[in-house]
């Protein structure tokens, strides 16, 4: 196994044993990125010179001491360009660290590069970036998923030991599934959003994309917790997320929602998920059928609430204080031209949709109704969790599709997140982990298994995911990028 293919846990073991230095780990990543990223397009920016200064002084006894971590371009890192993959923020250099970055630094981790994404996190394929496309390391003719596609791709291609992403409707879990990584979405309020460039504030959540479940737990140990800078972060006790890893599944009940096993799932994906469910039974878990009856409304509700919040959040980008500024004879025209030149087509589409559903005469009919149905979706999960410990289902209905295949069909693109959106609406935690491969056009393409957990019971969810991962070998397969 190459050095860059190591998990965080394995890397830490070598660092603490003195077999490897943080500087050597960083140099190996730099070499790997030089070899493969011209084909993958995972990074928008990196600064190894600054990172090497941190590596030279790293304390490997800290929880993440000496571990380099890639950061999604929507998360602010002091002194680095934070553009959210948008032309409207081109040239903006962050004057501060997001809370998650400050906490990673306090744990000894080394942020070193910024990963590509769909502009303002609006997309499911990382084709909406204003600067470049990112490609799936398992087959570079295919998309890596989105919006955290760059983060998933660099982890899968061994260009990063781990990465941070953000998840508004599946943007961590879906690309992790399509790239064969572990993608973890914490409960809403578990991790501070301070310093995350907002898409939809009631849905966004920062989380890790890693090579193993244990690595996700290690990163969560560093970034979770109440933050005075973020009023939506909750003062819930933060456990050691690694403490339950390795426990057996005796007495664990997993809910199989009938609404998530529907026509339209690719046969190879359906077969892999059902095989994984049987494997869980062999590990001692009990499988129980449950119902989430309002699932069919989740996509429609999401695209009302998310676009409404996006139209409000993106109003702050006007070219006056930072980023791109168009030339115009007066201020009003400057606003219009700046946004016309700075925002891409998908962002404009969602701003228009969001402005429409909030407009006079339509707010009650669309936005308020969507919020009511959101409450029903949340209640569905609450009822299901009265009888089960977690829910098991596909992460995606299909494997990665071809680059450009859905560029002209926004509705079909939106449906790529059909199994992940409800978790964001309900505010619960979720994880995607590898559970198989589909052979398509002579290429092995990853399939993701999704587990959804009770609010703030991330430790239990990680335990359940870890038991499956460690009793199978899917996570050990490496992309050949």
195-207 per-position pLDDT tens digit = 999 999 999 999 9
**Burial state string for 363-389 with b = 16 or more CB within 10 A and e = fewer than 16:** eeebbeebeebbeebbebbeebbeebb
pLDDT of 481 over the 70 cut: no
CA-to-CA separations, 464 to 32, 277, 380, in angstroms, rounded? 33, 12, 21
pLDDT on residue 416? 81
Q: Are 108 and 221 in contact (CB under 8 A)?
A: no
Q: Which CATH class is domain 3-254+382-404+429-476?
A: alpha beta
pLDDT digits 0-9 by tens, 301-314: 999 999 999 999 99
Residues making up the chain, counted from first to last: 481
pLDDT one-digit tens code per residue, 255-303: 999 999 988 899 999 999 999 999 999 999 999 999 999 999 999 999 9
| In the chain, where the domains are located | 3-254+382-404+429-476, 295-373
The predicted pLDDT at position 1 comes to 67
282 is catalytic: no
Q: Is 72 marked active-site?
A: yes
CA distance linking residue 142 with residue 1, whole number of Å? 25
Contact predicate 283/247, CB 8 Å: no
Q: By the 8 A CB rule, do 147 and 414 touch? A: no
Give the integer Cα–Cα distance in Å for 164 and 72. Answer: 6
Alpha helix segments (H runs only) across 364-473: 369-384, 410-414, 421-426, 458-470
The pLDDT, as a whole number, for residue 480 is: 72
Q: What is the pLDDT of residue 415?
A: 75
**Residue 274: strand, helix, or coil:** helix
Q: Which residues contact 432 (CB under 8 A, 6 or more apart)?
A: 172, 173, 174, 176, 177, 182, 183, 395, 448, 449, 450
C-beta neighbour count of 18 within 10 angstroms: 8
Residue in 82, 124, 147, 166 annotated catalytic: 147
Q: Of 72, 185, 211, 463, which residue is the catalytic one?
A: 72
Catalytic residue chosen out of the listed positions 7, 171, 216, 432: 171
Number of continuous H segments (helices) and E segments (strands) in the chain? 15, 11
The CB-side HSE value for 367 (13 A sphere, CA atoms) comes to 19
Nearest of 96, 337, 346 to residue 199 by alpha carbon: 346
Nearest by Cα to 74 from 98, 41, 95: 98
- The per-residue pLDDT for 360 is 86
Q: What pLDDT score was predicted for residue 328?
A: 92
In the chain, % of residues over pLDDT 70: 100
Segment 133-154 shows an average pLDDT of 98
395-436 confidence digits (pLDDT tens) = 999 999 999 999 888 777 877 889 999 999 999 999 999 999
CB 469 within 8 A of CB 184: no
CB 387 within 8 A of CB 291: no
Mean pLDDT score of the chain: 96
pTM of the model: 0.97
Gap between the Cα atoms of 354 and 352, Å rounded: 5
Q: Are 62 and 96 in contact (CB under 8 A)?
A: no
Lowest mean pLDDT among 4-8, 28-32, 331-335, 372-376: 331-335
- Sequence-distant (6+) residues with CB within 8 A of 234 are 189, 190, 226, 456
Residue 171 known to be catalytic: yes
User: How much is the pLDDT for 390?
Assistant: 98
Neighbours of 5 (CB within 10 A): 16
Overall average pLDDT of the 69-84 stretch? 98
Identify the pLDDT of residue 64.
Answer: 98
| % of the chain at pLDDT higher than 90 | 94
Q: Cα separation of 172 and 151, whole Å?
A: 9
Averaged pLDDT, 208-226: 98
Peptide bond preceding 401 in cis form (omega within 30 of 0): no
The yes-or-no verdict on residue 219 having pLDDT over 70 is yes
Cα–Cα dist 189/24, whole Å: 36
């Amino acid at each position: 196994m190459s050095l860059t293919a190591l998990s965080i846990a394995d890397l830490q073991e070598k660092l603490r044993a003195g077999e490897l230095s943080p500087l050597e780990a960083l140099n190996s990543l730099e070499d790997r990125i030089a070899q493969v990223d011209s084909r993958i397009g995972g990074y928008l920016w990196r600064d190894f010179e600054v990172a090497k200064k941190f590596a030279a002084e790293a304390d490997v006894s800290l929880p993440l001491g000496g571990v380099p971590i890639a950061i999604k371009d929507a998360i602010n890192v002091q002194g680095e360009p934070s553009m959210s993959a948008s032309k409207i923020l081109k040239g903006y250099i962050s004057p501060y660290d997001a809370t998650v970055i400050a906490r990673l630094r306090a744990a000894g981790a080394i942020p070193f590069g910024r990963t590509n994404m769909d502009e303002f996190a609006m997309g499911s394929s990382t084709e909406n970036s204003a600067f470049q496309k990112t490609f799936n390391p398992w087959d570079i003719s295919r998309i890596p998923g989105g919006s955290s596609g760059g983060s998933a791709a660099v982890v899968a291609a061994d260009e990063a030991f781990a990465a941070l992403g953000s998840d508004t409707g599946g943007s961590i879990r879906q690309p992790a599934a399509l790239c064969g990584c572990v993608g973890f979405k914490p409960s809403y309020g578990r991790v501070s959003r301070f310093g995350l460039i907002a898409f939809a504030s009631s849905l966004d959540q920062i989380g890790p994309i890693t090579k193993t479940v244990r690595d996700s737990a290690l990163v969560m140990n560093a970034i979770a917790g109440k933050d005075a800078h973020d009023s939506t972060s909750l003062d819930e006790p933060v456990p050691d997320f690694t403490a339950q890893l390795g426990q057996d599944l005796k007495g664990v009940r997993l809910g199989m929602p009938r609404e998530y096993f529907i026509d339209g799932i690719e046969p190879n994906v359906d077969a892999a998920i059902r095989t994984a469910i049987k494997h869980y039974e062999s590990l001692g878990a009990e499988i129980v059928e449950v119902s989430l009856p309002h699932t069919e409304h989740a996509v429609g509700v999401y695209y009302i609430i998310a676009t409404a919040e996006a139209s409000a959040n993106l109003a702050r980008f006007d070219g006056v204080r930072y980023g791109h500024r168009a030339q115009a004879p007066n201020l009003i025209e400057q606003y219009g031209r700046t946004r016309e030149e700075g925002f891409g087509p998908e962002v404009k589409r969602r701003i228009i949709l969001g402005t429409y559903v909030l407009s006079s005469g339509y707010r009650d009919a669309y936005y308020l109704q969507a919020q009511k149905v959101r409450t029903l979706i949340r209640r569905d999960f609450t009822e299901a969790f009265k009888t089960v410990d977690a829910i098991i289902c596909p992460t995606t209905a299909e494997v990665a599709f071809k680059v450009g295949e859905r560029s002209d069909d926004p509705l079909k693109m939106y449906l790529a997140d059909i199994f992940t959106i409800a978790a964001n609406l309900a505010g619960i935690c979720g994880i995607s982990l590898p559970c198989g491969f589909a052979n398509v056009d002579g290429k092995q393409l990853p399939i993701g298994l999704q587990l959804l957990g009770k609010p703030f019971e991330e430790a239990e969810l990680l335990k359940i995911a870890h038991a499956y991962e460690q009793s199978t070998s899917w996570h050990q397969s490496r992309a050949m990028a």
